[in-house]
Structure 1
Amino acid sequence: MMNLEWYRIFLHTARQLNLTKAAQELHITQPSVSYALKQLEEALGLTLFHRLPKGVELTEEGRALLGYVEQSFAVLDSAQKHLQNLKQLSEGEIRIGASDSLIKHLLLPQLNAFHKDYPGIRIRLSHGRTPDITRRLKEGEIDCALVHMPMDDPQLNIRTLAVLEDCFVVGEAYQAHAERPLTAKELAELPLILLSPGSSTRVFVEQWFAARGLTVKPDIELGSIDLLAEFAKLGYGAAFISRSFVQEELRDGKLRELRLEDPLPARSIGFAVRRDRKLSAAAEGFVRMLQDGHGQPRPT
C-alpha cells in the first residue's frame, strides 16, 4: 500500500533536485527524505533518482512518475480549496422544499437575506404539499422543508418557525356578511373558495367544519393562494386564507375579513430536517440564520 507522504517527498525532491533543500522545504530531516524515497523506490521496484555528488537527477522512470504526481497533488489542492470554500459558505448548495404560498410569503424574505450574505450558495427550491415535501425530505431529495403542523414523525426533527392566523375573506359583493359575526353554519352556506383537496390547509379547514357537525363542498377549488385572493376580490365567495398573506389587500379594503362567532385556531409552520442525516455546511448556515431569529413571518 502506497504512502501519500512518500509521493509528497518525491514531488518536492524532484522539484529541488536536492535532498537537503527538499527537507528544508518540508520541515523534516534530510535522512527522513532519503528514507522515504528509498521506501517508495522499493515499493515500485524502480529507481527514481540518480544520486549525484551534489544532488540528485530524475531517472526516466522518475520523470514519467513526476507528471502523474504533479497532477494528483494539484487535484488534491483543488479539493482542499473547494472544501474550504464549502466550509466558509463561499460555495455549495441548499435544497429546500415548501408549498408555493410558504415560499412566497414566509421563506422568500429569509432566502433573500441568506442570498445577500452568501451569494455563492446555490439555492434549489422545490414546491409541493406538506405530505409530498415530507416524503422528499425523508428520501434525501431535499435538505430541509417548511411543513404545516402538527406533525409527528420519528425520522424528522421539527421546530416551530412561524404561527399563521387563518381567516375567511370576501370581496365587495359579500361585504354585508362582514358586518356581524357569523356562525359556522352561516359561513358554510356561502360560496366557498378553498385550496385543492389533499393540501394541509384544506384538511385543516374541513376538520374545523367537521368538528361543528358540518360538511362543506367548495364552489371553487384552486391550487394557488394568490388565485384564492383574486377570486374572492372578484366576488365569487369567501376564500380561506392566512391573514398575513393578504394583509395588503385587507389594509386597502380590496378584501374584507369575515368575523366568526367561533374563531379559527392558529396554525404553526415547522422547519423540518432529518434526524439521521448531517446537513451540508450551506444548509447548516441557513438553519443557523433561522435559529438566530430571522425566521419570523411578515407582520400582520
Structure 2
Amino acid sequence: MSVIEVIYINKQLNMEWYRIFLHTAKVENLTKAAQQLHMTQPSVSYAIKQLEDSLDVKLFDRLSKGVKLTAEGAALLEYVEPSFALIDSAERRLQALKDFAAGELRIGASGPMLKHLLLPALDLFRADYPAVRIHLFQGKSAEITKRLKDGLIDLGLVHLPLDEDPELHVSPLAAIQDCLVVGPPYRQLNGQPLSAEEIAKIPLLLLSPESSTGQFFKQWLNDQGVQAEASLELSSLEMQVECCERGYGAAFVTRRFVERELQEGRLFELPTLVPIPPRSVGITVRQSISLPLIAGQFRKMLMHSR
C-alpha cells in the first residue's frame, strides 16, 4: 500500500471518528450513539479511544450512566458540530443543483436569435425548473464569445462560421436563410431578380459593421464585385423592420425573423440574381471547462428542440 493510500484511509477514519464523537457528545451515552449510528457499542468506544489517542487528550469522562465531555472535549465540539453542519449544507446544495432546484443559467445571444430561437426554449426550461435563476446577455457574436472566454456566461448562441479559436467549442444548432426585404413604397422591386449592382443602388438599412450579419451581407456583395454602404446603420432588427415598413429602403435580415411581416404584407422579399447562401447558428462553450449541470441540461433541451 502506498503512502498516499495510507494517508487517504487515515483521513477517512478520522472523519468517521469525528462523526462518532459528535453523536456521542450529543446523547452523552455510548449505547445510544451506537444505535443512532447503526454500530455496536464496542465499535463506538474504540473509535473514541482512537480519536483521543490521535489528539493526545481525553475527550469524555466515563460515568456510571453514560459519558460527559471534558473541557477539551467541549472545546473540540465547538468546531466539529458546525463543520459537519456545513458539510450537510454543502451536500444539500449539491443535490439541489443536481435536481435543477437551485443555481443559475448564464447565456448570451444576439437580439433576433434571442427572440426567435432562445426565448421559446427558455420558456420550456423555466416551466420545468422554476427555481433556476436565468441570466441573459444580449449582444453581438464577438461580444458573446468574449464573455464566454472571460467566464461571464456559460453558453452562447452565435452566427457561424466563427473564426478558429482554441478556447471555444462550437456545435451547429440551426440553419438560417437571409433575405432582402422592403416596405410597401418599394414593393415594385419584388418582380425580377436583382443584381448586386441594382441592390447597391437601393438605400440599405443594415446592422452596425461589427455585426456578423452586416459583415456577411457586405462580403456577399463583395464576392460579386460590388461595394455598398448603409444608408441607415441600425442596432437592432426591430429598427430595421420599422424603417423598412416606413419606406426608408431595403434591409438584410433572416427570413425566419420576419415571417409574420411578410405574411401580413407589411414587408416584401426582393428576389436576387445570385442566391444568398444559407448560414448557421451555433451553440458555443469554453473548450476545456466543464459545463455546469444546469447549462448542460439547457444545451441538451435546445439541441433536441431543433
Amino acid in the other structure paired with 2:166? P
Q: What's 2:146 paired with?
A: 135
Q: What's 1:22 paired with?
A: 33
Q: What's 2:210 paired with?
A: 198
Cα deviation, 1:216-263, whole Å, max 9, x if unaligned, reads: 011000010110011000000001111111111111101111111111
Give the Cα–Cα distance (whole angstroms) in 2 for the partners of residues 142 and 266 of structure 1: 28
Indicate the larger mover: 220-229 or 35-44.
35-44
Structure 2, unpaired ranges of 5+: 1-9
Give the Cα–Cα distance (whole angstroms) in 2 for the partners of residues 67 and 134 of structure 1: 48
Q: What's 1:117 paired with?
A: 128
Q: What's 1:157 paired with?
A: 169
Q: What's 1:265 paired with?
A: 277
Indicate the larger mover: 25-34 or 6-15.
25-34
Question: Displacement, 1:13?
Answer: 0.7
Q: What's 2:79 paired with?
A: 68
Give the Cα–Cα distance (whole angstroms) in 2 for the partners of residues 153 and 29 of structure 1: 60
Give the alignment's Cα RMSD to 1 decimal.
1.6
Q: What's 2:115 paired with?
A: 104
Q: What's 2:5 paired with?
A: none
SS in 2 for 1:147: strand
Q: What's 1:242 paired with?
A: 254
Question: Displacement, 1:68?
Answer: 3.1
Question: Displacement, 1:181?
Answer: 1.6
The size of the alignment, in residue pairs, is 294
Question: Displacement, 1:107?
Answer: 0.7
Answering whether residue 23 of structure 2 is matched by residue 7 of structure 1, we say no
Amino acid in the other structure paired with 2:247? G
Amino acid in the other structure paired with 2:72? E
Report sequence identity in percent: 52
Cα deviation, 1:240-296, whole Å, max 9, x if unaligned, reads: 1111111111111011111111111111000111221111111111112123x21x3
Answering whether residue 162 of structure 2 is matched by residue 169 of structure 1, we say no
Answering whether residue 278 of structure 2 is matched by residue 275 of structure 1, we say no
TM-score, L = length of structure 2 = 0.91
Cα deviation, 1:17-67, whole Å, max 9, x if unaligned, reads: 221221222123323222221232234343221102332122233234334
Give the Cα–Cα distance (whole angstroms) in 2 for the partners of residues 35 and 216 of structure 1: 86
Q: Give 1:90's match in structure 2, choosing from 101, 104, 108.
A: 101
Where in structure 1 do 4 or more consecutive aligned residues deviate above 4 Å? Answer: none
TM-score, L = length of structure 1 = 0.93
Cα deviation, 1:92-144, whole Å, max 9, x if unaligned, reads: 11111111221112111111111110111111111221122112212322111
Structure 1, unpaired ranges of 5+: none
Indicate the larger mover: 17-26 or 157-166.
17-26
